[in-house]
Amino acid sequence: MTKEARTRAGASGRHAPARDAEVGLSIVVPVFNEAGSLVALHERIAEVARRLRQARGLKCEVVYVDDGSRDATLQIARDLPATSLDLQVVSLSRNFGKEAALLAGLDHARLGAVLFMDGDGQHPPSLIETLVSHWLDGGYDVTYTAKLDRQNESWLMRSGVKLFYRTLNWGARHKIPADAGDFRLLSPRASAALRQLPERNRFFKGLASWIGFRQIRVDYKPEERTHGRTTWNIFGLIGLSIEGLTSFSVAPLRLASLLGLLLAGSALVFGAIILFEVLFYGVAVPGYPSLVVGLMVLGGVQLLMIGVLGEYVGKILSELKARPVYFVAEHSIKMADSSGQGMAARTAAE
């Protein structure tokens, strides 16, 4: 599709399936210590790409972003065959985190539409065809997935997730869908819009929702991990919550204001009660215990609010420094031939 044609399609809000198929699909997969499952995952992605090529004429590529793995993940990724689809391997100079890896994959995606999925095998590649169908046939720009249920997670984890989304969406003009994951497909104009967002402290789920366009939710049941074990826990949830809230919402600042108002009101009522008891009942004003408790409560709240402000100031400092989000240590490309069998290799160092 030419630039002019893409502009017209974006302005009209409609998709031309044949032209979109010519644009192609880049499948971005961040990987970190996934040596045990990467070969099987690649085989399943390649099979889906083969079916998409045959049924829709859709050209596909997969972009594996190695986020500083400490096992043999990078070497295995280098040796994967480029059958049915082109293959890119982007190796970051160190572990920058998943958000940076997603951005690196977006930056290196060469085809129009971009699909993001995890490398642990829990995002089923068989669902890719459903997401593509919503894009090409339904005209949706963003097709995001959400877990059908969280029964396999602890009560503490489920409660934390609910609290996070309620806090994030509290007072927000644009609501972020609850339980939405990183497994999603963005049309060419949606991926182009995501590339225009300049911030370095990125919260992918929020940004992919914030850009707008036509969006649809697809529920799915995560598959079991076949190798290794997840590093995701309640502490990771807390870290992501702080990052997401301070990067994408002013809810913590609003809570700080409400808490200050609540404490001021409570102090006013407490002072009125003491004054009433002294004037009408002659009750002595409580001494040191109430004073110490009051100072501890106020001091704790002040320190908490200073910490909240510090998070936002830290984000501002990070944006002002304008450091790159990631560095690429190695970048290789394997091109599948026209028949989808075999490959031609090209390596680029960055």
- Domain residue ranges of the chain, discontinuous segments joined by +: 3-233+325-348, 251-321
- Tell me what pLDDT residue 13 has: 36
Q: How confident is the model at residue 8 (pLDDT cuts 50, 70, 90)?
A: very low
pLDDT, one tens digit per residue, over 185-215 is: 998 988 888 888 887 777 787 788 878 888 8
Measured at the CA of 137, the angle between CA 136 and CA 141, to 5 degrees, comes to 50
Mean of pLDDT over the chain: 75
Q: Which of 217, 186, 182, 220 is nearest to 203 (CA)?
A: 182
Q: How far apart are CA 67 and CA 69, in angstroms?
A: 6
Check pLDDT > 90 for residue 28.
yes
Three-state DSSP at 335 gives strand
pLDDT, one tens digit per residue, over 60-88 is: 899 999 888 888 888 888 888 888 888 99
Q: String of b and e for 214-231 (b: at least 16 CB within 10 Å)?
A: bbeebebebeeeeeeeee
Beta bridge partners of 267: none
In this structure, are residues 103 and 326 in contact, taking their beta carbons and an 8 Å threshold? yes
- Tell me what pLDDT residue 65 has: 92
pLDDT, one tens digit per residue, over 269-304 is: 777 777 777 777 766 666 656 666 667 677 777 777
Check pLDDT > 50 for residue 237.
yes
Radius of gyration of the CA atoms of the chain, in A: 25
Residue 121 phi/psi, 5-degree rounding, is 90, -5
In this structure, are residues 340 and 50 in contact, taking their beta carbons and an 8 Å threshold? yes
**185, containing H or E segment:** strand 180-186
Model-wide pTM > 0.85:
no
Question: How far, in Å, are 120, 189, 252, 254 from residue 241 at the CA level?
Answer: 22, 29, 11, 16
DSSP letters of 268-302? HHHHHHHHHHHHHH-PPPP-HHHHHHHHHHHHHHH
- Tell me what pLDDT residue 98 has: 84
Check pLDDT > 70 for residue 26.
yes
Q: How confident is the model at residue 336 (pLDDT cuts 50, 70, 90)?
A: confident
pLDDT, one tens digit per residue, over 151-182 is: 666 666 667 667 777 766 665 666 777 777 78
* Section 23-51 average pLDDT: 87
Q: How confident is the model at residue 116 (pLDDT cuts 50, 70, 90)?
A: very high
DSSP letters of 81-109? --SSSEEEEEEESS---HHHHHHHHHHH-
- Tell me what pLDDT residue 7 has: 32
Beta bridge partners of 334: 87, 345
In this structure, are residues 66 and 90 in contact, taking their beta carbons and an 8 Å threshold? yes
According to CATH, what is the number of the domain 3-233+325-348? 3.90.550.10
Q: 103 or 344, which is more confident?
A: 103
Q: How far apart are CA 62 and CA 24, in angstroms?
A: 11
Alpha helices in the chain (DSSP H): 3-12, 17-23, 38-56, 73-79, 98-108, 128-136, 155-169, 188-195, 204-210, 234-248, 251-281, 288-321
For 105, residues 6+ apart whose C-beta sits below 8 A from its C-beta are 26, 28, 29, 30, 63, 65, 90, 114, 116
